[in-house]
Amino acid sequence: MLSFQWGAKLEDAQMAVAIGDEEAQNFTNHTWPFKLPEGSIGHWNSITVLEDGSILALTSTNGYSEKGKTEVWMIKGHLEKK
C-alpha cells in the first residue's frame, strides 16, 4: 500500500491510497479513504497495517470541523479484493 496526497494543487489535496504488487510496483486501485467535502484539505497522511491485518489511515483535515479548523482524523478499515 502507498499513501500520498492527490490534488491539482496543495489547497485541494487529500489522501489517496494505491495497492502495488509483491515488488512494490505497478500501483493501481486508487481510493480516497476520507470522503471530504469539496474545498477541504487532507494533508500529512499516514497508513499502517496492524497485527490483525486491519489498516489505520490518518489525515489532517478541515473537512469535518464545524469551525473550519484543521484536525487529525483516523479511520480503521481493511483491504478488500475486487
Task: Say how far apart CA 75 and CA 64 lie, in whole Å.
Answer: 13
DSSP, res 68 = -
Per-residue model confidence as pLDDT tens digits over 49-81? 999 999 999 999 999 999 989 999 999 999 877
pTM here is 0.83
Which are the contacts of 33, defined by CB distance < 8 A and separation ≥ 6? Answer: 15, 17, 57, 59, 75, 77
Per the prediction, the chain carries an average pLDDT of 92
Q: Which of 17, 50, 48, 49 has its CA nearest to residue 34?
A: 17
pLDDT in the model for residue 71: 96
* SS3 state at 61: strand
β-bridge mates for residue 71, sequence order: 61
